[in-house]
Amino acid sequence: MNTQTLETFWQKTLHRAAKEPLEAQAEQVKAPLPFYKHRITYRSLDGVKVRACLGQPILGERGNGKLPAIVTAPGYGGWEFGTELSECQRGYLVLQVYPRSQGESGELWKVEPSADQAWMNHGKHNPEGFYYQGAYVDVMRGIDYLLTRPDVDAGRIGLMGTSQGGGIVLAVGALDPRVKAVVAHVPYLCDLRNHRGLSTDLAGDPVFLNTFDYFDPVHLAPRLRAPTLLSAGGKDKTCPPETIRAVFDRLGGTKALAHYPELTHTSCGDFYAMSWEWLKRHLET
């Protein structure tokens, strides 16, 4: 698609989002956990309220410095995160953001019934108001919240995501220069025009495809300069490996792609371990 058109659209979107007061509220969740858990609520694009959960390590006497932070988004069902809050015990703050209408954010604002857990149906015939316009900003506003905290190192913000969450973090990493490292496991939403498993009603709808061009990581990838680690499964029919490779090939910065020939659309212990090594290398040094 036209690069200038894409740039103009996102400049206007982010300018509008920046005018929204964050109005963040944090509530500590009382639970027998080996870390602190907080429920966060804040305002995002067009005044929509979003909820997130924050994991904060208990550092004791070592708790005087600023910590790196990881922001993550869920899979397409809206609830499941590939990165658990308990991972904060590695020495990070971990923020799980539920994009608008997904997971706990569904208590605050909802898409129409036909788009519930079929998020691409919401506003699919116009980039302005399309579901992922708001969803991407929701995650960026999570970064805004983190940077209000005195215990966060603004120069060490990373993103992690699996499936839908992987596609979201690729896009957010491209749109937000504050992001210093990205990890995307079997990311969804990539190179959608060439996605052989896309539903017939979407694949055959040229207006929808024109809309999604504004949000597809394959078009945003040239903007992503943070070190980026991706994975792909050779037997993944949900997120075919060639769609992920298309994004990888357009990344301009430090990058790596782990391809698992026998992997379906599921978790991978080897890649999970690799992910934390990647984040340690790029956020802790």
Hey, where are the domains in the chain? Answer: 3-283
pLDDT tens figures, 19-50: 999 999 999 999 999 999 999 999 999 999 99
Sort 254 into a burial class: Cβ within 10 Å, 0-12 / 13-18 / 19+.
middle
Instruction: Beginning with the edge strand found earlier in the chain, give each strand of the sheet holding 93-98 in spatial order.
Output: 25-29, 35-43, 49-57, 93-98, 67-73, 152-162, 179-185, 228-233, 255-260
pLDDT the model gives residue 201:
84
pLDDT tens figures, 136-178: 999 999 999 999 999 999 999 999 999 999 999 999 999 999 9
Domain 3-283 has CATH 3.90.79.10: no
Q: Is 226 in contact with 21 (CB distance < 8 Å)?
A: no
pLDDT the model gives residue 285:
65
pTM confidence score: 0.96
**Is 52 in a helix, a strand, or coil?**
strand
CB crowding 155-173: b at 16 or more within 10 Å, else e = ebbbbbbbbbbbbbbbbbb
Residues 6+ apart with CB under 8 A from 271: 185, 231, 258, 260
